[in-house]
């Protein structure tokens, strides 16, 4: 997997687990900057198809052994290794970089990317092994990999929040990791931090509602779904609004709250007036109410 181009999604106790993906709103980028490719040549071609000359690796490794006075050689070599999915090699180089240049944010950031991608790599391997041979041992290995990824995810999010306390969006993936690790109370607290920022509050409220629903806290979950869908300034993204109302309708119907379910389905019908499935479902609920 080229870093940053694909989101691996796993299921863990009913919760989505997407470690440090762009969907998590974590600062993330391609490890290799196409604008500054090694020689500056052929910037229009596919980076993934380029071959790095062996001499270039040897030159960079030699420069690093000679203890350069800038962080640039470390970053260049690390980006190459990251792009090639050689996460252990990338981490080895970035360990040296962060030891010599501890205040360099790019070195710290890429080191964390190497760690999380290696964790994802191991998780994917564990998943494949369990799919191919579903035994108690492979299941235990898979569960262990999930825990390790979430522990790492929590550690990285907290570290980035220490370095960048203004990045409240990091509370969203942190909350997801904490919930998957069995700490829903701490996860709720993280989401409440994120809700303070207007640009985040719809998505944070939706994530909070989903967490509360999994915890069987139905009234609180419905309230959070309503907030996610009905914020005025700024209004929620259309997909967040639809997901929140749809989820609230399902939850209300599941618990026999027919009036509430009808109201949510009416809101959905306003958003999608030509959706025949919604129309049939709404009609059936109205008949059931009578």
**Mean pLDDT for all residues in the chain:** 84
Q: Which residues pair with 11 in a beta bridge?
A: 16
Cα separation, 213 vs 118, whole angstroms: 32
| DSSP category for residue 233 | S
Q: What is the per-residue pLDDT across 169-219, written as a single tens digit (0 to 9) for each?
A: 999 999 999 999 999 999 999 999 999 999 999 999 999 999 999 999 999
Residue-wise pLDDT tens digits, 91-145: 999 999 999 999 999 999 999 999 999 999 999 999 999 999 999 999 999 999 9
Cα angle at 114 between 109 and 115, to 5 degrees? 100
pLDDT for the residue 53: 77
């Amino acid at each position: 997997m080229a870093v940053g181009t694909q989101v691996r999604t796993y299921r863990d106790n009913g919760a989505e687990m997407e470690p440090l993906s762009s969907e998590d709103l974590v600062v993330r980028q391609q490890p290799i900057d196409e604008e500054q490719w090694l020689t500056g040549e052929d910037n229009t071609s596919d980076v993934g198809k380029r071959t790095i000359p062996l001499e270039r690796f040897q030159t960079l490794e030699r420069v690093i052994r000679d203890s350069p006075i800038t962080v640039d050689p470390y970053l260049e070599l690390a980006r190459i290794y990251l792009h090639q999915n050689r996460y252990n090699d990338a981490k080895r180089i970035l360990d040296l970089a962060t030891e010599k240049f501890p205040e360099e944010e790019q070195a710290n950031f890429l080191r964390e990317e190497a760690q999380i991608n290696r964790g994802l790599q191991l998780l994917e391997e564990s998943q494949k092994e369990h799919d191919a041979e579903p035994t108690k041992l492979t299941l235990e290995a898979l569960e262990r990999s999930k825990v390790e990824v979430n522990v790492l995810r929590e550690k990285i999010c907290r570290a980035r929040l220490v370095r960048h306390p203004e990045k409240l969006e990091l509370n969203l993936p942190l909350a997801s990791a904490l919930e998957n690790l069995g700490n829903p109370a701490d996860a709720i607290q993280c989401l409440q931090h994120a809700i303070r920022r207007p640009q985040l509050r719809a998505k944070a409220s939706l994530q909070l509602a989903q967490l509360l629903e999994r915890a069987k806290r139905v009234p609180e979950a419905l309230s959070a779904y309503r907030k996610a869908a009905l914020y005025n300034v700024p209004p929620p993204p259309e997909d967040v609004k639809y997901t929140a109302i749809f989820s609230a309708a399902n939850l209300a119907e599941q618990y026999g709250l027919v009036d509430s379910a009808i109201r949510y389905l009416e809101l959905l019908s306003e958003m999608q007036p030509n959706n025949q499935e919604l129309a049939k479902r709404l009609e059936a609920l109205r008949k059931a109410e009578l």
